[in-house]
Structure formats: C-alpha cells, structure tokens
Amino acid sequence: MNVMTERPTTLAALRAGGWKSRTVKQEIRENFLRQLQGGAHLYPGIVGYDNTVIPEINLALIAGHDMLFLGEKGQAKSRLMRSLVRFLDDALPYLDLPGCPVHEDPYKPITGMGKRYLADHPEADIKIAWWPRKERYAERLAPGTKFADVVGEIDPSKLAAGTSMSTEEALHFGLIPRMHRAIFAMNEIPELDELVQVGLFNILEERDVQIRGYPVQFDLDVLILFSANPATYNRSGKVIPQLKDRIGTVIHTHYPHDRALGIEIMEAEAGVELGGDYPVIVPLFMKEIIEQISVMARKSKYVDHASGVSARFSIANYRTMVASARHRAVRLNEKPAVPRISDLGHLYSSSLGKLELDMMGSQQMSERQVLDAIIAEAIKSVFAEYVEKTGLEEIAQIFGKGVKIEVGDMLPSSHYADRLKRVPRAWEKAFEVNASESEPVRASCVEFVLAGLYATDRISRSQKHGRITYETR
C-alpha cells in the first residue's frame, strides 16, 4: 500500500516520496493480502457465505481475475461487488489535467493529452491530484445500455466545434475508459446488446478499446465485474461465448442454507428499531415463520424458480409484521407490542409483486391464493418443529376441550387472556418467552398454537368480517 503522511501535489514530489505505480488488480491484491494477514473482517455485512462464496472471491482477487457473480435475485451480488472497493488505496494520485477524460497514471498516461502534458512540462510543474477510494467504483444496469455508454463514441458536438474526426479529441469516452485504474461493474449482463458484449470481450482480452475503428488503442487498467441470473446467463444466445470465455472467475451465490442464517440476515437488513415509546418483542417463532415463508416460496411449485425469491421478501415482510404489531399497540395503548399470526394478514402489501408465479404450476390460482398457501405451509412447518422438540400435547388438550377463541390483529391481548385462564407450564419451555406474565406475549403464543392446530387438522376455523374464530371440530 502506498502510504504518505502528506499527499504530494507535484509529480516531482510524488516521485521523491517513493510512490510506485501499480495496476488496479495489483493494488487490490496487495491490500487484500495485507488485510487477510492482519485478520481483518474482509466483507462486513455479508452473512452465510464464509465457507462457500467468500473463499472463491478471495482466490479470484489473488489471481487477478475479472469476476461474474451468478445467482438469483436478493443474494447480495451487488453488495459483494461494491464491497471490493475496500481493497483499494485510500486515494490514488493522477495528473491534474483539466479536460482529460481519465484519471491518468502520473508515470504512464494512456491518452494523447496526458502524454503531451508529461512530455512538455518539468516534473516540478506537473500538478497531481488525488482520486478518493469511494469514487473509484461505477456500475451500470445492462438493459438499455448502448455501446457509447460504456465504451465510447464520436462526439458530434466536438465535430461541430471544428475538431477533426481523425483526432483523439473527437472521442467521447464511455464509463469503462473513464474508470481507468478503478472498478467497473455491469449488472444483468445477459440483457446487454450483442454489440456491447463484443466491445466488452475485447476489453477483457486485450485491455484496450477502439471506438468506431479509430486507430488509437487505449491501454486500459480496470477490474471488471458482472452479475447475472443463472436462468438467463445459461440460456443459449443470451451471452456470446467469447465473452463468457474471457471472464476469469464465476462466483456462484446462493440463498441461506439454513433458516437461522436467513433470520440473521433478515434482522440485520430490516434495520427495525424495536425500542421507543412502544417497544416491540418479536417471539422467535414469529421470526421463524417469516423466514420459513421465504423458504417455502422458494420450494413452491406455484412460484417461478428461475426468478427466485429475494432476501428482500423476508425483510419487507418482517418490517410489515412489526409495523402491524406496533400499530395495534398504539391504538390500544398496549405494551409491549408483540407480533401475532393475525398480523401476517397484512403481508399482501409487502409480498405481492415480489413473487413471480409459475404459469404452469399456479394454473388458475391468484397471487393472493398462492401466498395464503405458502404462509399456511410455513406455519405448519414451524409448528411441527415445536411439537417435535418440546411436546405441546398439554396445550393441544386444553384447546381440544371445547375452547372457542376469536383472533384478530386489532383485538386486545386481554381478550385472549379471558378465554384462556390457565396458562400451561409448557408455554415457557416451548416459546422461550414467559407467556404467563405477559398478556401480549401470551396472545401471540395462543395464535401460533391455534394456527398450528388448525394446520394439523386438530381444530376448525371460520372467518367473518376480518376476524378468525378457532374451535373444536
């Protein structure tokens, strides 16, 4: 890493200070290895990839490869690409040359303007500026991207001003040349026009760019990253073979391999403040149900597997569930706010639009009906785990003796307490919360048990005017 206490402002001072020119991949590799050796947390905010994705990225950085992040939506592909910025130097010196379209290496400029400036001035007079790390990353979404956007084009305004078309000054540089000595990322690469793909594989192979056959070649220094969905990337004809062949490393991302990791990601990304005037307690089983809904959606025959179910699905649903609980608490002046199964009735607002139905599997089912079926399966799955782990027969027996309970997202917690006078000792063991001392927590536990008993065909359910009544069959 090039470290200086004071940043030089002239080329002479830069050289005297011992700064050495490196390619961007050398810079990233050396900084990465230094952080790795020092035991730094290399990818803050990335959860669940320690033994799968992260090692592959590490090797690609050491190897100096351009990378493709291949995975379904909501698998942190963009976040991973942006995280590589932390392996750049804090700032990078460049020729302070007004009008120059790129941040020129002070020792090795690539444009005619930069080369002439270096040749025509003594080093003591050549000004140096510094390019901050955070500005050395740019990304582009592929749909609608033209060759001129990322590579370049002849600039008509410069021709109109009298610039000769045969000179370099007539060119408009695209994003990739402008990110010389930096990182450029292209999202959804299969959606790129074939002409742009051709331009990209030339850059990947030769590290140069030619615009409209212009005879000057620019020796570009850039780390290029791509992202794509496997369903479209692997579809014949979407990405030209020459471009695929020139991508050094393919990083396969994935959804969390277990629900606990999914919950960890969900809570971290949701950023929900659970304190305040109306604090919220979220029972573990409610978190498990929210994440299990995503798990079941990814397995559902009604959902398009090629599209995937983003982690944002769980995050948005978690926020909605907590918001519904807090809304009830404020309206009823009830503390703490505790999410219940009935709060899941509001998940339509945060779920619809995030699920893409499989037209063959869903047949005549609407998106709401598919979501209802997925939520029911998620509740059944989580409830079965609690029954297996802790045994809820004592609770099931109480509800099997003719208890009739109406539930709803705006019913006071005392309503549940009145209907269930005796709290089984199994509550505390089963739910990891003290339901016997908190009416809102007890209400949440009651709704979970009722929904679980209904899902396992032990009790019946009827719905009227937005409220649900559970009772013995």
Q: What is the pLDDT of residues 103-141, one digit of tens each?
A: 999 999 988 889 999 999 999 999 999 999 999 999 999
Q: Pick the range with the lowest mean pLDDT from 35-49, 148-162, 226-240.
A: 148-162
- DSSP states of 191-232: GS-HHHHHHHHHHHHHS---STT-S------EEEEEEE-HHH
pLDDT of amino acid 342? 93
pLDDT of amino acid 465? 66
Q: What is the pTM of this model?
A: 0.84
Local confidence band at 355 (pLDDT 50, 70, 90 cut-offs): confident
Size of the chain, expressed as the number of residues it contains: 473
**pLDDT at 430 > cutoff 80:** no
Average pLDDT on 397-407 reads 72
pLDDT of amino acid 209? 61
Q: What is the pLDDT of residues 277-314, one digit of tens each?
A: 999 999 999 999 999 999 999 999 888 887 889 899 99
State the burial class of residue 174 (Cβ atoms within 10 Å of its Cβ: 0-12, 13-18, 19+): buried
Domain boundaries in the chain? 11-252, 259-472
Average pLDDT on 376-389 reads 88
**pLDDT at 362 > cutoff 70:** no
pLDDT of amino acid 199? 81
**Whole-number mean pLDDT of the chain?**
86
* C-alpha to C-alpha distance for 411 and 461, rounded to whole angstroms: 17
**Structural contact between residues 243 and 201, judged by C-beta atoms closer than 8 angstroms:** yes
Average pLDDT on 240-258 reads 93
Q: What is the pLDDT of residues 19-59, one digit of tens each?
A: 999 999 999 999 999 999 999 999 998 988 999 999 999 99
pLDDT of amino acid 445? 86
pLDDT of amino acid 269? 92
Q: DSSP 3-state assignment of 131? A: strand
Is the domain spanning 11-252 CATH 3.40.50.300? The answer is yes
Local confidence band at 423 (pLDDT 50, 70, 90 cut-offs): low
The number of beta carbons lying within 10 Å of the beta carbon of residue 403 is 15
Local confidence band at 455 (pLDDT 50, 70, 90 cut-offs): confident
**Structural contact between residues 289 and 344, judged by C-beta atoms closer than 8 angstroms:** yes
Share of the chain above pLDDT 70, in %: 84
CB neighbours of 343 closer than 8 A, spacing ≥ 6?
320, 321, 324, 325, 328, 409
* C-alpha to C-alpha distance for 410 and 346, rounded to whole angstroms: 12
pLDDT of amino acid 217? 67
Looking only at the bridges linking them, the beta strands covering 467-472 and 137-141 are: unpaired
